[in-house]
Amino acid sequence: MLKETPQLAPDGLPYRISTLRNAAGMVVTVMDWGATLLSARVPMKDASVRETLLGCPSPEVWLEQTAFLGASVGRYANRIAQSRFTLDGETWSLTPSQGENQLHGGPEGFDKRRWRIVRQNEHEVLYTLDSQDGDQGYPGELRATAHFRLTDDNRISIEYRARVDKPCPVNLTNHAYFNLDGEQNDVRGHRLQLFAGRYLPVDEQGIPREGLADVSGTGFDFREPKKIAQDFLKDDGQKRVKGYDHAWLLDAKGDLNQPAAHVWSSDEKLKMTVYTTAPALQFYSGNYLEGTPAREQGTYSAWQGLALESEFLPDSPNHPEWPQPDCILRPDQEYLSVTQYHFIPQ
């Protein structure tokens, strides 16, 4: 089902909201502005329904938030240090959006654009977006697609594709925030398992200054399920950014059939498993969510939502030595990244 809102977006046209449904009764809504996941309502075993995503009461209020709630971000998700990189001997300067660094593609990234609907029905919506040469400082023209599907076994599948006419770093992801309890409470009561033996330390600006580190003996070890609160702020690396806001290099190495992470609600009644072809997951514990407009009432507080963003490691254009596929997309290649969020009532 496709609905146009009476409210108008910054381009003077209505927001177009697609509703996806499956045979199990799950309902997902997606918006063309920012190719944004707005809502994911999961039917529970006791016949109740849980809203699993953080969101805003309306699209125009969504525009006021700066947390990228549910949005598709690009050209390059996460941070690029000092907003520059060197490619094939040429240095490119990007538009900064977080101090001297660029975050999530720049101040006018893909989250602030209208994506065109190519096709949509009750089970899927396919969007496309064109980005011009020089957009936010990036070289070449880029065409991206974002394909959202809802399967009958309660999986939200998000597939990003892109092509370029000049070599350019490309790293697309969705910035959904989850709270599997279905209420405005502290997600540090959730249990998390991350199938990753290494993570990337960062400084106070979220920029990696050293290589990958072993999770053993640190608060970054989620190889066995544990409550997020268990080792919260245990490490100096967490204290620098007020919690978890780090990338883990996944053991699955891009295999969509292997789980990258599991999350359990505080009451253990809902589990979410993440699968992805991306090499890394950025786990963000919502450290700076305070003041973000909330769907039901008031505003969110810090740590009321968690993000698991599938992507290349942050600042990868400046670190070709890292053990992951090349983040540079060239004109004879197609970028492809698939992530699935599988909801399983317990």
Q: Which tens digits make up the pLDDT trace of 210-252?
A: 999 999 999 999 999 999 999 999 999 999 999 999 999 999 9
**How much is the average pLDDT of 178-206?**
97
Catalytic hit among 104, 175, 190, 246? 175
- For residue 76, give the nearest of 277, 309, 294, 340 by alpha carbon: 309
- Domains of the chain, residue spans: 2-345
Task: Give φ, ψ of 192 to 5 degrees.
Answer: -135, 140
Q: Would you state the pLDDT for residue 295?
A: 94
% of the chain surpassing 90 pLDDT = 99
| DSSP, res 185 | S
| DSSP, res 113 | S
Return all residues near 316 (Cβ < 8 A) that are at least 6 apart: 169, 171, 322, 324, 327
Note the CATH number of domain 2-345. Answer: 2.70.98.10
Is 190 a catalytic site residue?
no
Q: Nearest-5° angle of CA 158, CA 172, CA 290? A: 90
Q: Would you state the pLDDT for residue 171?
A: 98
Return all residues near 222 (Cβ < 8 A) that are at least 6 apart: 192, 193, 194, 196, 215, 248, 261, 283
Mean pLDDT score of the chain, rounded to an integer? 97
**How much is the average pLDDT of 315-343?**
98
Contact criterion met (CB below 8 Å) for 271 and 262: yes
Amino acid in position 96? P
114-150 pLDDT, tens digit each: 999 999 999 999 999 999 999 999 999 999 999 999 9
The band of 297, judged by pLDDT with boundaries at 50, 70 and 90, is: confident
Is 100 a catalytic site residue?
no
The band of 30, judged by pLDDT with boundaries at 50, 70 and 90, is: very high
The band of 296, judged by pLDDT with boundaries at 50, 70 and 90, is: confident
